[in-house]
């Protein structure tokens, strides 16, 4: 919720001798909404190739069936092809809506097998449904991170921090992130062995009461959303509160909540009021400023990974190990 966050993708790897980036095999698919900006997709592919990666675009990535990137069957088939591709990274072209329809039929065993063999599944927004379902059903780690069209295909270039964090994942050097926190955030605390999980708040709340929401205790929950008015954000948080989910979190990281229109009804009620309400109703530490969401600067976050969290002064660090396959949420 704050701009100007300073990131530590670079800082955490400062002690490493940087190797030449090895060529990674990246598989791109469209499991949600149809790609409208084909030029942005082409730009994204070119930039990834220019960085030395081998990019494979799924045969149906540009399909359209009304608002979706193909029928449910076609999008499921694309996920199966991605799982069988042997790629280092599977990344979505874009978010939107559509994965919720596919959750009962996802090829969970094939996805888990691909992760065990080293494939990183990366995306955000609608991809939250996929990540949390995979975590709940297979206890495997996926990554909240960039999408091709919005990030690598951006007209004014790829955000430097997003690029660096993605580079760290490609070179197997991703082991944490950090940022400057808000002036009202807790400044001196640490917690070990938390389960990092979360994503888009609308998608998380849509999974409450389903088998696709992981049962997380000692959680580090991160949330973001787009085009949702503050009262709607609070209403979703009340659902997580009343469902007992917030009570199981030790820390809540707030990413970007943007692109909404204020209402005359609000009379000064806004995101600050939502944060104050959240702090009053949960024992979890609430940390703002997470560089993640529908914004250019995105850190990459391993969904389901065990992490250590430490806030000192005006910064918070979230650290994880190199074991990026199995989630820990029981």
HEC secondary structure over 105-166: HCCHHHHHHHHHCCCEEEECCCHHHHHHHHHHHHCECEEECCCHHHHHCCCCCCCHHHHHHH
221-237 per-position pLDDT tens digit: 999 999 999 999 999 99
Query: Given this model, what pLDDT does residue 229 score?
Result: 97
**149 and 259, same domain (yes or no):** no
Of 24, 174, 234, 294, which is the active-site residue?
294
142-182 per-position pLDDT tens digit: 999 999 999 999 999 999 999 999 999 999 889 999 999 98
Number of domains forming the structure of the chain: 2
Q: What is the mean pLDDT of the chain?
A: 93
Of 224, 228, 234, 329, which is the active-site residue?
224
CATH label of the domain that carries residue 66: 3.40.50.10740
Q: Compute the distance between CA of residue 57 and CA of residue 93 in angstroms, rounded to an integer.
A: 9
**152 and 224, same domain (yes or no):** no
Of 30, 114, 125, 206, which is the active-site residue?
125
**166 and 183, same domain (yes or no):** no
Does residue 7 surpass a pLDDT of 80? no
**80 and 193, same domain (yes or no):** no
**157 and 201, same domain (yes or no):** no
Domain assignment present for residue 204? The answer is yes
pLDDT band at 321 (very low <50, low <70, confident <90, very high): confident
Known active-site residue 328: no
Sign of CA pseudo-dihedral 250, 248, 209, 197:
positive
Query: Given this model, what pLDDT does residue 329 score?
Result: 60
Contact 284, 217 (CB under 8 A): no
Domain region containing 104 = 19-170
Q: Compute the distance between CA of residue 214 and CA of residue 134 in angstroms, rounded to an integer.
A: 9
Does residue 213 surpass a pLDDT of 70? yes
Cα distances from 167 to residues 19, 22, 24, 46, in angstroms, run 11, 10, 10, 16
Domain boundary (149, 170, 191) is at: 170
CATH label of the domain that carries residue 217: 3.50.30.60
Query: Given this model, what pLDDT does residue 281 score?
Result: 98
Query: Given this model, what pLDDT does residue 254 score?
Result: 98
Domain boundary (170, 205, 238) is at: 170
Domain assignment present for residue 29? The answer is yes
Query: Given this model, what pLDDT does residue 179 score?
Result: 96
**45 and 152, same domain (yes or no):** yes
Mean pLDDT for the stretch of residues 79-88: 98
In 10 A of CB 262, how many CB atoms? 11
Domain boundary (170, 197, 226) is at: 170
Known active-site residue 224: yes
Query: Given this model, what pLDDT does residue 131 score?
Result: 98
Contact 301, 177 (CB under 8 A): yes
**161 and 189, same domain (yes or no):** no
Cα distances from 23 to residues 3, 41, 77, 87, 100, in angstroms, run 33, 20, 26, 11, 33
């Amino acid at each position: 919720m704050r701009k100007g966050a300073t990131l530590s993708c670079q800082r955490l790897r400062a002690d490493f001798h940087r190797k030449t980036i090895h060529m990674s095999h990246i598989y791109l698919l469209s499991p949600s909404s149809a790609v409208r900006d084909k030029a942005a997709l082409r730009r994204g592919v070119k930039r990834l190739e220019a960085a030395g990666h081998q990019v494979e675009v799924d045969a149906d990535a540009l399909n359209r069936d009304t608002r979706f990137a193909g029928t449910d069957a076609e999008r499921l088939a694309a996920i199966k092809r991605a799982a069988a591709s042997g790629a280092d990274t599977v990344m979505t072209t874009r978010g939107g809506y559509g994965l919720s329809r596919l959750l009962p039929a996802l090829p969970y065993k094939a996805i888990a097998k691909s992760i065990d063999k080293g494939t990183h599944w990366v995306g955000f927004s609608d991809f939250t449904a996929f990540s949390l379902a995979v975590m709940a059903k297979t206890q495997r780690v996926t990554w909240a991170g960039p999408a091709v069209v919005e990030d690598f295909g951006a007209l004014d270039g790829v955000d430097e921090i997003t690029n660096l964090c993605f580079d760290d994942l490609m070179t197997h050097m991703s082991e944490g992130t950090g940022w400057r926190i808000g002036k009202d955030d807790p400044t001196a605390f640490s917690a070990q062995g938390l389960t990092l999980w979360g994503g888009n708040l609308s998608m998380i709340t849509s999974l409450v009461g389903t088998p696709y929401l992981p049962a997380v205790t000692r959680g580090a929950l991160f949330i973001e959303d787009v085009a949702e008015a503050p009262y709607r954000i609070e209403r979703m948080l009340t659902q997580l509160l009343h469902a007992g989910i917030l009570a199981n979190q030790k820390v809540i990281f707030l990413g970007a909540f943007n692109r909404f229109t204020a209402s005359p009804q609000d009379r000064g009620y806004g995101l600050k009021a939502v944060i104050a309400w959240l702090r009053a109703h949960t024992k979890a530490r609430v940390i703002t400023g997470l560089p993640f969401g529908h914004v250019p600067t995105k850190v990459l976050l391993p969904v389901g990974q065990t992490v250590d969290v430490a806030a000192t002064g005006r910064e918070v660090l979230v650290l994880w190990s190199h074991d990026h396959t199995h989630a820990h949420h029981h």
